[in-house]
């Protein structure tokens, strides 16, 4: 039998945007948010204390006998706080964290809320029904750069767009904690306003439903809405941590729902996100798509009438990649073990970059100076990821796609002897530094800037220059049509990395002992242990060609022979003092 969790993932993935969530108090309990009934009981305790009485062991029964009426949320609030401002301040203490609670991560979005926001950001969830008064789901959505439409009263329903035209919509069936009209008592939960019933009927008719944290015991009006839904277009999934009670089981039977036994809401939604992302990975464009894009580039760059097509191809693939790498799935607050998380992201980033990598490698190898603006604009767009909070090592790694693209484009330029293109890539592509100042990309993006050597995060690359070694392996297959010989590819890779370090050293001129610091690459240990000394090769070229050395003629080092000799002398001194290779 197929795991129901797998069925749910397939349903959500295959019917993007067609599933709604029904979230009950169970999803917020982990955050320390009380239920509406728990708040009511606490208010009764406050009333009894003010009246000098003891309401225990049954506060609700005491209130009924003492005041001649069933506990009423609004009446209790009116009795304890006479003005709207006072009522709001009283309610905030139940839903908004104190400093101590914030330190304990209480009354803040849980992992479940964050996972739901990721699904919403990716377009899989667009409608969220909730019986909760809190704003944890809204906060999680805002943290994921989503501004949801929130409907908590019939007044808001009147001006709301149809769901099909809205973005993400949160429907708070019982109201919001800052509105004293919330539904809380058994009598209040018997019926909904006609307008809310109409909206609820539409959602239950047109969307599939995943239920989480809702018992089905107390909300009579919501149960009736589910029971009267005439059709079953999509499967209903009901998650539970224990045996369903009679009323919930009756709903499951009537809707032929699939029951999911889960550990808790956090595990449910994190597992759902992981499985949906796995389905996305398996459905990534076939490698042939990237090869077709590369073939299109070859046609466009030799045809002056195809400039618009070339622009559109590069632009569309760049924007697609930009959206993907800036989605919530690449946030900075993951709790996984660092090496595991980085390895997972490296694989995902590489897959997402494939088509644009093929485009840039092909363009930089075959193109001319008139085409460089396409490659530099793509690089700049991918490199300038927006600011986020989170772990430093994850935030640094957000530039890994730009590093992949820079290496691919740079090696292709070197392989073709196209140093004008290389100069445009390294010098004309401007990205933001830590002070938001625009600087040349070679000043900011290199292996050690993405992840420091000490992290040794990639299996099989625990020594020497792990990121550099990894990049060489990742990129070699992409150069089969240009550099089929492994040694030839290795020499071009080393030449690019050495020039990247040399140009960086010349631009920054950061003193390091007697030299100028610049990023290292695998060229340093290959030169020492295998006799592949790219520094000596370049020195011989400069001595032989002088001012006609191709990189100088392309604009590197201001075209000055003296400047490149000085920079090379300083950079090589820095390299000579690196001892751990």
- Asked whether residue 489 is domain-assigned, the answer is no
Is the full-model pTM beyond 0.85? no
Is residue 490 in some structural domain?
A: no
Count of Cβ atoms closer than 10 Å to residue 267 Cβ: 16
Per DSSP, the three-state class of 20 is: strand
For tokens 């550990």, the residue is 263
Q: Of 423, 457, 484, which one is at a domain's C-terminal end?
A: 484
Identify the helix (H) or strand (E) that includes residue 172. strand 169-172
Q: 51: exposed, middle or buried (C-beta count within 10 Å: 0-12, 13-18, 19+)?
A: exposed
In this structure, what CATH number is given to the domain that contains residue 139? 3.40.50.1220
Structural domain of residue 566, as residue ranges? 495-581
**The last residue of a domain, from among 484, 510, 536:** 484
Determine the Cα–Cα distance for residues 362 and 346; give it in Å rounded to an integer: 23
Q: Are residues 69 and 183 in the same domain?
A: no
Strands 258-261 and 236-240, bridge-based pairing? parallel
Tens of pLDDT along the chain (581 residues) come to 578 888 899 999 999 999 999 998 888 887 888 877 788 888 898 888 888 899 999 998 998 888 888 877 667 776 777 676 676 677 778 888 888 888 787 888 999 999 999 999 989 999 999 988 889 999 999 988 898 999 988 888 877 777 876 789 999 988 887 776 666 556 666 788 888 889 999 999 899 999 999 888 778 889 999 988 866 778 999 999 888 889 999 999 988 899 999 988 998 998 899 888 878 766 666 555 788 889 889 989 998 888 998 999 999 999 999 988 888 777 766 655 677 778 788 888 998 999 999 999 999 999 998 999 999 999 999 998 876 777 788 888 889 999 999 999 999 999 999 999 999 999 999 998 888 889 999 999 998 888 764 455 555 554 567 888 889 989 999 999 999 998 899 999 999 999 999 999 999 999 877 889 999 888 888 877 666 689 899 999 999 999 999 999 999 999 999 999 999 999 999 988 876 55
**Residue 293 and residue 242 share a domain:** no
Whether 254 and 309 share a structural domain = no
Residue 194 sits in the same domain as residue 240: yes
Same domain, 87 and 213: no
Is 278 among the domain residues? no
Residues 363 and 473 grouped into a single domain: yes
* 274 domain residue, yes or no: no
Q: Three-state DSSP class for 395? A: helix
Last residue of one domain, picked from the residues 484, 514, 535: 484
Phi, psi of 159 (to 5 degrees): -100, 5
Q: Are residues 323 and 415 in the same domain?
A: yes
CA atoms within 13 A on the CB side of 336: 17
Assess whether 509 and 423 both reside in one domain: no
Asked whether residue 214 is domain-assigned, the answer is: yes
Q: In a 3-state reduction of DSSP, which class is residue 290?
A: helix
For the CA atoms of 141, 147, 150, 155, what is the dihedral angle to 10 degrees? 170
Domains held by the chain: number: 4
Residue 280 lies in a domain: no
Whether residues 86 and 118 fall in one domain:
no
Residue 282 in any domain: the answer is: no
Give the CA angle between residues 383, 388, 394 to the nearest 5°: 70
**Same domain assignment for residues 252 and 300:** no
HEC per residue, 396-452? HHCCHHHHHHHHHHHHHHHHCCCHHHHHHHHHHCEEECCCCCEEEHHHHCCHHHHCC
Same structural domain for residues 399 and 322?
Answer: yes
Residue 301 lies in a domain: yes
Does residue 304 sit in the same domain as residue 433?
yes
In the chain, what is the straight-line distance between the N-terminal and C-terminal CA atoms, in Å? 54
């Amino acid at each position: 039998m197929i795991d129901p969790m797998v069925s749910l993932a397939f349903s959500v993935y295959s019917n993007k945007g067609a599933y709604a969530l029904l979230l009950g108090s169970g999803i917020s309990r982990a955050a320390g948010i009380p239920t509406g009934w728990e708040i009511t009981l606490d208010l009764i305790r406050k009333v009894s204390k003010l009246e000098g009485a003891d309401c225990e062991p049954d506060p609700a029964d005491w209130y009924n006998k003492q005041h001649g009426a069933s506990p009423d949320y609004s009446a209790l609030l009116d009795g304890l706080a006479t003005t709207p401002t006072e009522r709001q301040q009283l309610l905030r203490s139940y839903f908004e964290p104190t400093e101590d609670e914030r330190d304990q991560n209480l009354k803040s979005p849980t992992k479940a809320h964050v996972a739901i926001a990721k699904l919403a950001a990716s377009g899989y969830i667009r409608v969220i029904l909730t019986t909760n008064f809190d704003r944890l789901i809204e906060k999680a959505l805002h943290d994921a750069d989503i501004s949801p439409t929130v409907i908590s009263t019939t007044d808001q329903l009147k001006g709301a767009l149809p769901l099909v035209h809205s973005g993400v919509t949160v429907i708070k069936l019982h109201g919001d904690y800052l509105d004293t009209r919330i539904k809380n008592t058994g009598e209040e939960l018997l019926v909904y306003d006609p307008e809310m019933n109409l909206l609820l009927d539409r959602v239950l008719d047109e969307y599939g439903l995943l239920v989480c944290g809702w018992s089905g015991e107390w909300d009579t009006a919501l149960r009736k809405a589910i029971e009267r839904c005439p059709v079953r277009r999509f499967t209903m999934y009901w998650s539970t941590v224990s045996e369903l009670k009679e009323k919930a089981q009756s709903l499951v039977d009537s809707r032929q729902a699939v029951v999911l036994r889960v550990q808790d809401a956090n595990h449910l939604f994190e597992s759902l996100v992981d499985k949906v992302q796995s389905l996305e990975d398996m459905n990534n464009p076939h490698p042939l798509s990237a090869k077709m894009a590369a073939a299109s580039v070859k046609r466009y760059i030799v045809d002056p009438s195809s400039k618009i097509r070339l622009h559109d191809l590069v632009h569309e693939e760049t924007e697609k990649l930009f959206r993907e790498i800036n989605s919530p799935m690449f946030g900075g607050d993951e709790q996984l073990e660092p090496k595991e998380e980085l390895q997972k992201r490296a694989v995902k980033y590489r897959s997402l970059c494939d088509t644009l990598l093929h485009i840039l490698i092909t363009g930089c190898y075959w193109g001319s100076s008139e085409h460089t603006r396409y490659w530099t604009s793509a690089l700049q767009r991918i490199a300038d990821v927006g600011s986020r909070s989170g772990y430093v090592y994850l935030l640094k790694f957000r530039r890994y796609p730009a590093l992949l693209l820079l290496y691919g484009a740079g090696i292709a330029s070197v392989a073709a002897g196209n140093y004008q293109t290389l100069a445009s890539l390294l010098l004309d592509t401007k990205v933001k530094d830590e002070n938001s100042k625009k600087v040349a990309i070679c000043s900011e993006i290199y292996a050690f800037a993405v992840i420091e050597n000490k992290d040794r995060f990639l299996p099989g690359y625990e020594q020497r220059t792990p990121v550099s070694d990894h990049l060489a392996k990742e990129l070699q297959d992409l150069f089969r049509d240009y550099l089929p010989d492994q040694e030839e590819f290795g020499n071009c890779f080393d030449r690019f990395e050495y020039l990247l370090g040399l140009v960086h050293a010349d631009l920054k001129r950061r003193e390091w002992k007697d030299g100028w610091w610049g990023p290292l690459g695998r060229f340093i240990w290959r030169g020492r242990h295998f006799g592949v000394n790219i520094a000596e090769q370049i020195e011989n070229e400069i001595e032989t060609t002088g001012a006609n050395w191709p990189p100088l003629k392309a604009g590197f080092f201001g075209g000055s022979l003296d400047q490149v000799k000085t920079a090379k002398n300083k950079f090589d001194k820095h390299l000579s003092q690196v001892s751990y290779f």
